[in-house]
C-alpha cells in the first residue's frame, strides 16, 4: 500500500509543464520508469546510527532513486538530453564506421530528479539537492580515447585481458539475467561484454546493447574518480570496502562510503531515449529488452541511471 501511495505522490507533484517534451532532461516524467521505484522500494528492518550529536534510531529502507543520465552519442559535443549542440566548428569524431568498429562519446549528466522536480519525500533518504551538472565529456578525457592511457590509469585490468577471465564473464551473464549481477566480477558487464578499459569504442553490430555497455563504463569511471560512492550492501565486495575503510566495513544505511569500484548490484538502468524501456540490471540478456529500441537512422541513446540506496530514517537522540 505504501508503495502505491508513494508512486501517486510522485505523479501528483510533477509540474504539467514538464509534459511537453520527450527528452529526459526536459521531461523526466514520461522518460523514466517510475514503476521501478514502486517495485524496488523495500523496508529492511531497524537501524541504529552514530551521529555527531548522539545516535539515530529508526527504520532501514532500500530506496531506488534516479541520479542522472548517460548519453551515448556518435557526434562529438552533442547533448540530445537537452537538445543542444556545442557548434559545428568543433571536431566531429565518432561519425564514421571503420574496420575496427565505431567511436562513440559518452556524457554523464547529474540530474537528481527528486530534488529538481521538488518532490517532497522527507521521510526517505533521497538526493534532495537541485544541482543540475554536466560532467566533463568523454571527448575531453584522454582515458576514454586512448587504449594505452586507459590501461595506465587502471593497470590491474591487464590481469583480466585473457581468455579465462573473459570466459568467467558467462557466469555474470547468467546471474545478471536473473537480476543478480556478480559484483566481484567487476570487469564483466554480464551479457553486454567486458568493462575492461574505459575507451568508448564499440563494434557497431548492436548499437542498443553497446550503448548500455558504454554507459556502464562511464559509471565505472565515475567510481574510479570517486564521484560515485557506495550506497548499498555488497557483501561480495567487502574486501574492497575493507581496504577503502582501513579494515572496517561500515553500514551504508548510516552514510555513503567512498568506493573506487563499480557496484553492479547498486545500479539499474532504463533506456529513456529514443524509446523508453523498463529498468534492467547491469548485464541483462539483450534479447529480453533490446528489440525495437532504436529509431531508423538514429544511434544516440540516453540511459537513466537508478541507484539503490540504503538509508536510516528515524529519530535523533538525545
Report the pLDDT value the prediction gives residue 217, as an integer from 0 to 100. Answer: 95
pTM of the model: 0.86
Residues 31-73: tens digit of each pLDDT: 999 999 999 999 989 988 887 778 888 889 899 999 999 999 9
Q: Would you tell me how many other CB atoms lie within 10 Å of the CB of residue 63?
A: 22
Question: Would you mind telling me the total number of residues written for the chain in this entry?
Answer: 318
Rounded distance, CA 71 to CA 273, Å?
Answer: 9
Question: Which region among 116-130, 178-192, 251-265 has the lowest average model confidence (pLDDT)?
Answer: 116-130
Report the pLDDT value the prediction gives residue 314, as an integer from 0 to 100. Answer: 81
Q: Which residues pair with 50 in a beta bridge?
A: 55
Collect all residues with Cβ–Cβ distance below 8 Å to 309 and sequence separation of at least 6. Answer: 62, 63, 64, 65, 125, 126, 231, 232, 256
28 pLDDT higher than 80 = yes
Domain hosting 71: range is 2-317
Rounded distance, CA 304 to CA 156, Å?
Answer: 29
302 pLDDT higher than 50 = yes
More confident residue, 164 or 93: 164
Structural domains counted in the chain: 1
Amino acid at each position: 500500500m505504501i508503495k502505491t501511495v508513494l508512486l501517486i505522490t510522485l505523479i501528483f507533484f510533477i509540474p504539467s509543464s514538464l509534459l511537453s517534451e520527450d527528452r529526459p532532461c526536459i521531461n523526466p516524467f514520461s522518460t523514466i520508469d517510475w514503476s521501478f521505484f514502486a517495485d524496488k522500494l523495500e523496508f529492511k528492518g531497524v537501524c541504529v546510527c552514530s551521529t555527531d550529536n548522539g545516535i539515530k534510531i529508526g527504520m532501514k529502507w532500500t530506496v531506488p532513486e534516479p541520479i542522472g543520465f548517460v548519453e551515448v552519442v556518435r557526434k562529438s559535443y552533442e547533448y540530445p538530453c537537452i537538445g543542444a549542440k556545442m557548434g559545428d566548428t568543433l571536431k566531429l569524431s565518432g561519425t564514421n564506421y571503420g574496420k575496427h568498429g565505431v567511436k562513440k562519446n559518452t556524457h554523464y549528466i547529474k540530474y537528481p530528479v527528486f530534488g529538481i522536480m521538488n518532490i517532497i519525500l522527507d521521510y526517505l533518504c533521497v538526493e534532495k539537492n537541485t544541482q543540475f551538472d554536466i560532467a566533463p565529456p568523454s571527448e575531453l578525457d584522454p582515458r576514454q580515447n586512448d587504449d594505452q592511457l586507459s590501461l595506465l590509469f587502471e593497470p590491474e585490468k591487464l590481469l583480466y585481458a585473457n581468455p579465462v577471465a573473459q570466459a568467467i564473464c558467462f557466469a555474470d551473464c547468467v546471474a545478471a539475467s536473473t537480476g543478480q549481477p556478480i559484483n566481484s566480477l567487476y570487469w564483466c558487464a554480464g551479457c553486454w561484454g567486458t568493462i575492461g578499459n574505459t575507451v568508448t569504442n564499440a563494434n557497431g553490430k548492436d548499437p542498443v546493447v553497446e550503448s548500455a555497455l558504454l554507459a556502464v563504463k562511464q559509471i565505472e569511471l565515475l567510481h574510479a574518480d570517486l564521484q560515485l560512492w557506495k550506497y548499498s550492501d555488497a557483501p561480495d565486495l567487502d574486501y574492497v570496502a575493507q581496504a577503502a575503510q582501513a579494515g572496517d566495513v561500515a553500514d551504508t544505511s548510516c552514510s555513503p562510503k567512498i568506493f573506487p569500484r563499480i557496484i553492479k548490484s547498486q545500479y539499474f538502468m532504463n533506456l529513456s531515449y529514443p524509446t523508453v524501456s523498463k529498468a534492467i540490471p547491469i548485464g541483462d540478456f539483450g534479447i529480453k529488452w533490446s528489440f525495437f529500441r532504436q529509431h531508423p537512422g538514429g544511434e544516440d541513446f540516453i540511459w537513466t541511471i537508478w541507484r539503490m540506496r540504503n538509508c536510516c530514517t528515524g529519530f535523533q537522540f538525545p
